[in-house]
Structure 1
Amino acid sequence: MVPVQESPAGPGPTLAQRLDALPFTRRHGRVLGGSGIGWALDAMDVGLISFVIAALTQHWGITKAESGLIASLGFAGMAVGASLGGLLADRFGRRQVFALTLLVYGIATGASALAGGVALLLVLRFFVGLGLGAELPVASTYVSEFAPARIRGRLIVILEAFWAVGWTAAALIGYFVVPADENGWRWAFALGAVPAAYALVVRWGLPESPRWLAGRGRLTEAERIVADFERAAAPAGGPAVGAVAAAAPAAERSAPPRPGLAVSARSRLAGLWSAEFRSRTVAIWLVWFCVNFAYYGAFIWIPSILVDAGFGLVRSFGFTLIITLAQLPGYAAAAWLIEVWGRRLTLSVFLAGSAVSAVVFGTVHAEAAIIGAGMALSFFNLGAWGALYAVTPEIYPTSLRATGAGWAAGVGRIASIVAPLLVPVLLVAGGSGLAFAVFSVFFVVAAAATWGLVDRRGRALDDR
C-alpha cells in the first residue's frame, strides 16, 4: 500500500484532515443521498421477499421448509457477496464496486419475476444476495470516508435510515401489489429491478473516495475531489481552501504520513487478526452474527406468523406496514444519541431494548399488543442497525476498512442463512413465544459484545 501523503498543493493539512475540517455541504448531501437511494433499493428487495414468500405459500402451495430455503439462499449469496465486496472495494475502489453490486442484484431481481418454479427462484435469489451483500458494507465505508469526524456517526445512521424508506416501500408494495392477483409477486420483483438502472447514476454521478485514492497514490484525483468539496463549503466569493485548512491543528498538520497496513487480499485478511485488531474483529463479528440472526429470523417471518395466527394475508401485510413505520423514529433517535452517548453505549442500549421487545412480541396475542410490541421491536432493532453500521468502518484503518466491514457483514450473513431455516423448527417446538425468546437471547449477547469495540466518536479515521 502506498503511504498516505500530504496534499500535492504543498505543506499543510493532509487530505484526510481537510475532509474532517469541512462543514456539511451539498456535495456531502449528494454522496449521502446517492448512497442512501441505493441502500433503500436494497432494503426494498430484502423486504419484498417476506411478502413474496407469504404469497407463494398461497399461490404455489410451497412448504415452510421451501420458504426458509428461499430466504436462506438469498442470505447465502449475501454472505459471499459481503466478504468479496469488501476485498474488491479495498482493491478497486468504493464507487466501482458499489455500482457493480447494484447492477448484479437489480438484474437478478428483475429476472426473478419470470421464475416458473422454486428451483429457478432459488438460483436467482442467490445472485440477488450476492449483489446485495456486497453493497451494504461498501456503501457505509464509502460514506464514512467523506463524512467529517464530528458528525460521521450521525451521517452513517442517516444512511442506514434509508433502509426504513426501502422497507416501507416494500411494505407498501406488499400491501397493494402482491395481494392484487396471483401475479402480484411478479410485479413486485419487476419493481425491484430499478437498481440495475440506478447503478449508472452511481458510476458516473458520484466521486470516488479521496481517502482510498490517496492510499493508492492517486493524489491528483484525490486533491481535485477534496478541492471541489472545499469550494462548495466556501462562502460566495471567499477562499476555497484557506479557511478550511486552517481549522486543522498545527500538530496534526505536521504529523508524518502513515503507511498502509496491507497490500494483497491475503495480507488484508491477515491484518484483521493482527494483535492490534484481533479483539475488535472478534467483537464485531459476534455482534454482526447475533444481530443478523435475531433480525432476519424475526422480520422475514413476521408476515407469515401473522397469517398463521389467523389475521389474513392483506390484514397481516397491513400490520407489517404499521410496524415498519416505527423504524424511522428509531433511526432518528440513534442518529442523535450516537454523537451524544457515543457508539458503544448507543448500540448496547438499542440492542437491550430489542431484547425486551422481542420477548413481549412473542408472548402477546391481542391485536393492539402485537402492533405495539412489533413497533417497539422495529424501533430498537433498526436504531441498533444504524449504530452498528456507524461503528463498523471506524474500527479499522483505510487500507483494511472495506475488508473489515465486508467480512463482519459476511459472518453476520451466516446467521441470516441459519435463522430462516431454524424458525420453522422453533415455531413447531414452542410457537412464536419460543422463537422470539431465542431472538432475545441473541440480542443480549450482541449487547454484551459491543463493549469489545473501540469508540471513535468525534475522532479522525485511521488513514493508514
Structure 2
Amino acid sequence: MTDTAEATVARRLDALPFTRAHLKVLTGSGLGWALDAMDVGLVSFILAALVVEWSLTGEQASWIASAGFVGMAIGASLGGLLADRFGRRSVFAITLLVYGIATGASALAGGIVALLILRVVVGLGLGAELPVASTYVSEFAPARMRGRLIVILEAFWAVGWTAAALIGFFVIPNIDQGWRWAFALGAIPAVYALVVRWGLPESARWLERQGRRAESEAVVTRFEQSAAVGADQRRRTDPPVTPVAAMTGGSRLRVLWSAEFRVRTAALWIVWFCVNFAYYGAFIWIPTILFSQGYDLVKSFGFTLIITLAQLPGYAVAAWLIEVWGRRVTLSVFLAGSAVAAVLFGTASTEGAIIAAGMALSFFNLGAWGALYAVTPEMYPTSLRATGSGWAAGVGRIASIVAPLTVPVLLGMGGAPLLFVVFAAFFVLAAAAAWGLKDVRGEALDDR
C-alpha cells in the first residue's frame, strides 16, 4: 500500500484533539476493563475464604487459581484472531457476555469440579477481552497521546481490583458464604455487554481495511463533529484505502514470525510471559500467603486493600512518563522497580514493611502493565494488530496458569523469600527483553 493511499482515516484521527467521542470510547472500554479486573481480583480473596470453608489443600487452591488462566490463554489467542476477522467492538461485547454469565453461575457452584469448569469458561471471555480492548482504543487515539491513553485505559484495572478488594474486605468475611455474593456481583459484565454492543462505535481503521468505507467515514465524521472541526479536517481528496486481502488465522500467525516482525514478536512474548508469571503468582496468592503467616482473613484482606491502592499512582506516573521517556525506557524501569520491590516484599517481617513493600510492588508492577498494554498494539499493522496482541497475551496466560501452581511448591522449598526472588528474576528478564521492542512514540499507527 502506498503512502498516499494510507491516510484517509489515519490522518483525520491523528489530527483530532481529545474529544467527547474519545472520552466515550475510553471510559466505555475502561469500564469493561475494570469489570475484568474485579473478576480476577475477586478470585484471590475467594480462594482464601474457600481454603477455610471447603478445607482446600494448597494444590486444590492453586488449581482453582490456574483454571481461569487456562481459559484466558485460549481466549486471548482466539479473541485477537476473531477481532481481526469480525471487528473489535463485536468481539469485545461477546467476551463481556461470556465471562459475566459464567462468573454469576460460579456463585451456584456446589463443589470444586463445577467451580473449575466455570472458571475455565470465565477465562475464555476474560482472556479475549483485554487485548481486544487495548487494540480498539489504540486505533481511535491520536498518535501524540496514544501511549498515554492506553495507560489510562489500563488504569481502570486498578479501579476494578480495588473494587474486588473492597468486596473482599467488606462482603466475603462478613456474610455467610460471602464468596457466593462476590461471584454474583461479578455477573455485572453480562449486562454491560449490551452497552458496549450498541453504545460504542466500531474501529474506523478496521472498517476501512475491510472496504466498508461509508461506515468508516460515518465514524470519523462523528469524532470530528465531537471536536467541532467538522468538514475542515476531512481529507476528501485522499484516495481510498484498498481493502486488505482476506487472511486465514494461520496466515496471520505466519506473518507474526516473518522477517519484519519476528524480533518484536519474540521480545513481546517473553515480556508477556515473564510479567504474567510474576504478577499473577504474587497477587493471586498474597491474601492466602498473609493468612498462612498468622493474619486472620479480615487483616490479610485489609493489608491487600491498602497494597492495591498503590496501583493508581503507578498508572498515573507511567501515563506521564510513557510520552516523555518513550515505551521501552518506561517499561524497563518499572519492571526493574518491580524486581526490587518483590525482593523487599518477600523478606519483609513487620506489618509496616509488608505494607510498604507491597505498595511498591503494586506501584511498579501496574505501571509496567500500563506501558506493556500501550506498546503491544503498536507493534503490528491494522490487519494484524488484534491477532498480534491476542497471541502475546495468550502466551502470557500460559505463565499465569503455571505460576499459581508453582507457588505452593516454592513456598514449601524456601518460603516467601525464595518465592519472591523467583518473581524478581522474571521481572529482570522481562526488563531486558523490553529492549527488543520497537518504540513508536508519537508516530502514526501502521495501517497496512
Q: Aligned residue for 1:218?
A: 212
Q: Aligned residue for 1:14?
A: 8
Q: Aligned residue for 1:165?
A: 159
Q: Aligned residue for 1:10?
A: none
- State how far apart, in whole Å, the 1-side matches of 2:101 and 2:427 are: 34
Q: Aligned residue for 1:119?
A: 113
Instruction: Judge conservation of contact 1:352–1:447 (CA < 8 Å) in 2.
Output: yes
Q: Aligned residue for 1:430?
A: 414
Which amino acid in 2 is paired with 1:307?
A: F
Please tell me whether residue 397 in structure 1 is matched to residue 381 in structure 2.
yes
SS of corresponding position for 2:444: coil
Instruction: Judge conservation of contact 1:142–1:209 (CA < 8 Å) in 2.
Output: yes
Deviations along 1:15-61, one digit per CA (max 9) or x if unpaired, are 11100110000000000000000000000000000000000011110
Instruction: Judge conservation of contact 2:211–2:243 (CA < 8 Å) in 1.
Output: no
- State how far apart, in whole Å, the 2-side matches of 1:193 and 1:107 are: 6
Please tell me whether residue 129 in structure 1 is matched to residue 120 in structure 2.
no
Shift of the alpha carbon at 1:6? 5.7
Please tell me whether residue 68 in structure 1 is matched to residue 67 in structure 2.
no
Instruction: Judge conservation of contact 2:151–2:373 (CA < 8 Å) in 1.
Output: yes
CA gap 1:223/1:351 in 2 versus in 1, 3 angstroms: same
Shift of the alpha carbon at 1:267? 1.0
Shift of the alpha carbon at 1:265? 1.2
Which amino acid in 2 is paired with 1:240?
A: G
RMSD: 1.8
Deviations along 1:233-267, one digit per CA (max 9) or x if unpaired, are 11xxxx5121x348x9xxxx879957747622111
CA gap 1:71/1:60 in 2 versus in 1, 3 angstroms: same
Q: Aligned residue for 1:240?
A: 230
CA gap 1:3/1:133 in 2 versus in 1, 3 angstroms: farther
Deviations along 1:199-238, one digit per CA (max 9) or x if unpaired, are 000000000000000000000000000001001111xxxx
Q: Aligned residue for 2:301?
A: 317
Shift of the alpha carbon at 1:182? 3.5
Instruction: Judge conservation of contact 1:59–1:182 (CA < 8 Å) in 2.
Output: no
TM-score by length of 2: 0.97
Which amino acid in 1 is paired with 2:139?
A: E
Please tell me whether residue 346 in structure 1 is matched to residue 340 in structure 2.
no
Deviations along 1:59-79, one digit per CA (max 9) or x if unpaired, are 110111010000111000000
SS of corresponding position for 2:202: coil
Of stretches 138-147 and 180-189 in structure 1, the one that deviates more from structure 2 is: 180-189
Q: Aligned residue for 1:85?
A: 79
CA gap 1:122/1:218 in 2 versus in 1, 3 angstroms: same
Instruction: Judge conservation of contact 2:16–2:142 (CA < 8 Å) in 1.
Output: yes
Within 5 Å, give how 1:146-165 maps onto structure 2: 146-165=140-159
Q: Tell me which of 298, 302, 320 is aligned to 2:286.
A: 302
CA gap 1:262/1:290 in 2 versus in 1, 3 angstroms: farther
Q: Aligned residue for 1:331?
A: 315
Instruction: Judge conservation of contact 2:208–2:243 (CA < 8 Å) in 1.
Output: no
Within 5 Å, give how 1:7-46 maps onto structure 2: 14-46=8-40
SS of corresponding position for 1:114: coil
Within 5 Å, give how 1:258-297 maps onto structure 2: 260=244, 263-297=247-281
Instruction: Judge conservation of contact 1:330–1:378 (CA < 8 Å) in 2.
Output: yes
Instruction: Judge conservation of contact 1:4–1:260 (CA < 8 Å) in 2.
Output: no
Please tell me whether residue 194 in structure 1 is matched to residue 188 in structure 2.
yes
- State how far apart, in whole Å, the 2-side matches of 1:349 and 1:261 are: 40
Which amino acid in 2 is paired with 1:442?
A: F
Instruction: Judge conservation of contact 1:4–1:463 (CA < 8 Å) in 2.
Output: no
- State how far apart, in whole Å, the 1-side matches of 2:217 and 2:243 are: 19
CA gap 1:374/1:261 in 2 versus in 1, 3 angstroms: farther
Please list every run of 5 or more consecutive structure 1 residues that lacks an aligned counterpart in the other structure: 8-12
- State how far apart, in whole Å, the 2-side matches of 1:34 and 1:169 are: 17
Instruction: Judge conservation of contact 1:95–1:206 (CA < 8 Å) in 2.
Output: yes
- State how far apart, in whole Å, the 1-side matches of 2:151 and 2:302 are: 27
Q: Aligned residue for 1:50?
A: 44
Deviations along 1:182-203, one digit per CA (max 9) or x if unpaired, are 4100000000000000000000
Which amino acid in 1 is paired with 2:416?
A: S
CA gap 1:77/1:23 in 2 versus in 1, 3 angstroms: same
TM-score by length of 1: 0.94
Q: Tell me which of 157, 172, 180 is aligned to 1:178.
A: 172
Which amino acid in 2 is paired with 1:279?
A: V
- State how far apart, in whole Å, the 1-side matches of 2:134 and 2:98 are: 19
Which amino acid in 1 is paired with 2:173?
A: P
- State how far apart, in whole Å, the 1-side matches of 2:320 and 2:208 are: 31
Instruction: Judge conservation of contact 1:5–1:214 (CA < 8 Å) in 2.
Output: no
- State how far apart, in whole Å, the 2-side matches of 1:50 and 1:307 are: 12
CA gap 1:348/1:429 in 2 versus in 1, 3 angstroms: same
Q: Aligned residue for 1:411?
A: 395
Within 5 Å, give how 1:429-448 maps onto structure 2: 429-448=413-432
- State how far apart, in whole Å, the 2-side matches of 1:75 and 1:409 are: 11
Please tell me whether residue 449 in structure 1 is matched to residue 433 in structure 2.
yes
- State how far apart, in whole Å, the 1-side matches of 2:54 and 2:182 are: 16
